[in-house]
Amino acid sequence: MLAVEIRVNGELKAICGGADLRQLVARLAVHPRDNAFRVECLGVRSVDVDTDEVLKWVSARIQLGDDVSFRLVESDSARDPIDSQKIAARSRGRDA
């Protein structure tokens, strides 16, 4: 499966991914007003026609000067998500 490997200052934070994901997002979140910096990895998968599930693998504070790396990898396994939430499915344009 396709996955994202996330490291902070050389330390492996997680390998994020899943075979049935519709979307996988790894990002740096910077809030300059608050001096708040985070590295995050989230994914979305369909549960059924009306429900999606948002999965979270990483949400870690980082600080100015940290070395953050994202690497796309093929992996047989990934870390289990640390959180998940079910949400109403958005229209996906299935008939388009």
Rounded CA separation 1/37 (Å): 29
The pLDDT assigned to 79 comes to 84
For the chain, which residues make up each domain, given as ranges?
Answer: 2-88
- Read off the pTM: 0.81
Rounded CA separation 53/84 (Å): 7
- Complete edge-to-edge strand list for the sheet that includes strand 51-62: 23-31, 36-48, 51-62, 83-88
pLDDT tens-digit profile, the chain (96 residues): 999 999 999 999 999 998 889 999 999 999 888 889 999 999 999 999 999 999 999 999 999 999 999 999 999 888 899 999 999 997 655 544
